Amino acid sequence: MLEMKKILVVGLGLIGGSLAMALRGFEDFEIVGTDRSPAVREQAAEKGTGDRIAPGPGPELPGADVVVLCQDPAGITGFLKEHKDRFKPGALVTDVCGVKTAVMEAAACLPDGVDFVGCHPMAGKEVSGIANAEGGLFRNTHFIVTPGPRSTPEHLALLRRMAAHCRFGDVIETTPERHDAMIAYTSQLMHVIALSVCDNDELFACQGFEGGSFRDCTRVAALDPAMWTQLFTLNAPALCRVLGVLEERLGQYRRAIQSGDREGLSAMLAQASGRKKQIDLERARGDDVRPSF
């Protein structure tokens, strides 16, 4: 009889819990979940998160073939530092952090025989925690992978099979730097916009006047302040760059609207809406991935 291999999922919040659920039945791997909170471990066990819930990572780490770090950014980098000598030689270590350069830098402390590959499952919900975890969370979303300098083709292939088992829509391989620049624009900027819109005095007065565009734009404002403070700060240069571009563009629209120059405004609207229509067409042709967050 073959011995089971082991995937250890550390941190059973929304993403970790959902991953441990989605990974069940993956090849010949036992899925073990752990969390520092006893209440979370109990709820995870009740929900059937993974095959088994362990009280802590300590005894599990030396036997884990794959370790997936699903804490907040500081939790991930702290774990790497604290446990760097306890990983199994030859193990694949990965994470789910929304910023990759800082995590890859922290992973440089790992010994030679341990392979760190950064991952970012582009899935989520407006609510967090194990209570909201579900195995179907990743269906048709992007799975972004940033290999490290020592990453082996075998480990990258293993991650692709794990992603397929979790029903991700596609796997995007890129550098940590490009990931962080792109995510500043496509995700972090959307969160700063949503927060900024909610900072308006009219927020509580506008009931009855919201359309779907308002609901959609502000949806992600109900975020976890501690985690997003980390994510924004860890990616400050890229995020401030796209924020600056947006502020400039909003000012151009404001001045065009104020000036009453309908022709100039119409040309701006035609150009921007044309870009959106073109990208919608390209997406519809090339790709049916419908990301969920």
Query: Among residue numbers 88 through 147, which ones bind a second copy (CB under 8 A)?
Result: 122-124, 126, 141-142, 144
Work out whether 156 is an interface residue with a second copy (CB under 8 A). no
What 3 state SS string does 12-23 have?
A: CCHHHHHHHHHC
Question: Helix or strand or coil: residue 238?
Answer: helix
Question: Helix or strand or coil: residue 117?
Answer: strand
Contacts with a second copy: how many residues (CB under 8 A)? 97
Stretch that binds a second copy, among 11-19, 29-37, 81-89, 248-256 (CB under 8 A): 248-256
Work out whether 233 is an interface residue with a second copy (CB under 8 A). yes
Work out whether 282 is an interface residue with a second copy (CB under 8 A). yes
Q: For a second copy, which is the closer residue by CB, 130 or 189?
A: 189
Pairing type for strands 115-121 and 92-95 reads parallel
Residue 250 Cβ vs a second copy, minimum distance, rounded to whole Å: 5
Distance CA 136, CA 159 (A): 18
Work out whether 262 is an interface residue with a second copy (CB under 8 A). yes
The values of phi and psi at residue 68, to 5°, are -115, 115
Residue 88 Cβ vs a second copy, minimum distance, rounded to whole Å: 31
Q: Which two tokens stand for residue 216?
A: 């959609």
Place of tokens 């359309």: 211
Question: Helix or strand or coil: residue 218?
Answer: helix
Contact 179, 149 (CB under 8 A): no
Residue 146 Cβ vs a second copy, minimum distance, rounded to whole Å: 12
- 171 - beta bridge partners? 143
Work out whether 254 is an interface residue with a second copy (CB under 8 A). yes
Work out whether 182 is an interface residue with a second copy (CB under 8 A). yes
Work out whether 280 is an interface residue with a second copy (CB under 8 A). yes
In this chain, which of 223, 284, 285, 288 binds a second copy, going by CB under 8 A?
223
